[in-house]
């Protein structure tokens, strides 16, 4: 079977608006080649093991497996992060956190950072790859997530600058930092039912923010007080549908100053933070 016929087969079988895009990505991943290769070899006959592997992945996708769990890689910022079912698939909105931390760390000779809720390690890795003066602790409650974070740290040879370890919130965190950054679970429990079936294939512990979505964030703000240096920055992602108001009030009440929100490309408040 050639490239062209195999892609057509994938597109017919998936039968969704993104079928062409997804079939191309799946074939590129199976072949370990880029799009240019695909189109300059449109009539090339493929080995049967390539055909079988492509068909297997198309069936997995048809049965609801999220695309990036099939591809095992998610592009983010200027890195490519290994992912599997143990971690959240990184979202583009979280790049706002990374940009802000990079900008903040420019003011320091050395910046110590805690990436709370690291999951795949995506935030820690992106910050580290794009700075020279940062050292990061990356923590998560999930042991499997920590294994994946370590894999991504190793992929970019950052073992000297990023320490990954398991911790329930600050339970195993022994020190203070210049920055605490987090993409915490923030979806209200009742809303989870309304999430797409793709999203519900991701770990529930990465999504469920409790009855109002703010259960984890309240603890994060409260406990950050003991783990931030003077003038340290706390910033974290929120849901984009009105969580910014209560969260800003809370930051103010707990003594943070220069409180801010940052918007995503859709104009929704996505990140909140302040200085201690």
Ligand X SMILES: C[S@@+](CC[C@H](N)C(=O)[O-])C[C@H]1O[C@@H](n2cnc3c(N)ncnc32)[C@H](O)[C@@H]1O
Listed ranges 2-10, 65-73, 88-96, 227-235: which one lies at the site for ligand X (CB under 6 A): 88-96
> Cβ-closest residue to ligand X?
119
Cα distances (angstroms) measured from residue 84 to each of 18, 115, 270: 21, 20, 25
Going by C-alpha positions, the residue among 61, 74, 78, 80 that lies closest to residue 18 is 61
**Distance of alpha carbon 176 from alpha carbon 169, whole angstroms:** 14
185 binds ligand X (CB under 6 A): yes
Instruction: Quote the least distance from Cβ 184 to ligand X, whole Å.
Output: 6
Going by C-alpha positions, the residue among 102, 107, 54, 105 that lies closest to residue 78 is 102
Instruction: Quote the least distance from Cβ 56 to ligand X, whole Å.
Output: 27
Among 71, 101, 122, 158, binds ligand X (CB under 6 A): 122
- 213-272 positions binding ligand X, by CB under 6 A: none
Going by C-alpha positions, the residue among 232, 237, 215 that lies closest to residue 274 is 232
Among 102, 141, 192, 215, binds ligand X (CB under 6 A): 141
**Distance of alpha carbon 160 from alpha carbon 207, whole angstroms:** 30
Instruction: Quote the least distance from Cβ 126 to ligand X, whole Å.
Output: 10
Among 142, 224, 239, 244, binds ligand X (CB under 6 A): 142
Among 94, 126, 152, 224, binds ligand X (CB under 6 A): 94
Residue 148 in contact with residue 85, Cβ under 8 Å? Answer: no
Distance of CA 184 to the CA centre of its chain: 10
| Contacting residues toward ligand X, per CB under 6 A | 87-88, 90, 94, 117-120, 122-123, 140-142, 145, 168-169, 183-185, 205-206
């Amino acid at each position: 079977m050639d490239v062209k016929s195999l892609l057509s087969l994938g597109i017919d079988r998936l039968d969704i608006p993104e079928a062409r895009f997804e079939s191309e990505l799946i074939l590129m991943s199976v072949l370990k080649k880029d799009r240019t290769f695909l189109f300059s070899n449109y009539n090339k006959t493929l080995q049967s093991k390539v055909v079988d592997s492509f068909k297997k992945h198309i069936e997995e996708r048809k049965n609801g497996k999220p695309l990036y769990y099939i591809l095992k890689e998610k592009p983010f910022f200027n890195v490519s992060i290994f992912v599997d079912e143990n971690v959240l698939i990184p979202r583009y909105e979280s790049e706002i956190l990374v940009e802000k931390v990079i900008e903040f760390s420019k003011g320091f000779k050395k910046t110590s950072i805690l990436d709370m809720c690291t999951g795949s390690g995506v935030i820690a890795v992106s910050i580290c790859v794009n700075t020279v003066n940062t050292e990061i602790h990356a923590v998560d409650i999930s042991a499997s997530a920590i294994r994946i974070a370590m894999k991504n740290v190793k992929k970019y040879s950052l073992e000297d600058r990023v320490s990954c370890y398991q911790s329930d919130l600050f339970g195993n965190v022994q020190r203070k930092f210049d920055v605490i950054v987090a993409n915490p679970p923030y979806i209200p429990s009742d809303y989870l039912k309304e999430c797409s079936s793709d999203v519900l294939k991701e770990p529930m512990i990465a999504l469920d923010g409790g009855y109002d979505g703010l259960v984890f964030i309240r603890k994060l703000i409260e406990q950050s007080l003991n783990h931030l240096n003077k003038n340290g920055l706390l910033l974290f992602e929120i849901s984009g549908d009105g969580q910014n108001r209560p969260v800003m009030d809370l930051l103010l009440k707990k003594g943070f100053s220069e409180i801010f929100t940052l918007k995503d490309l859709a104009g929704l408040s996505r990140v909140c933070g302040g200085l201690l």
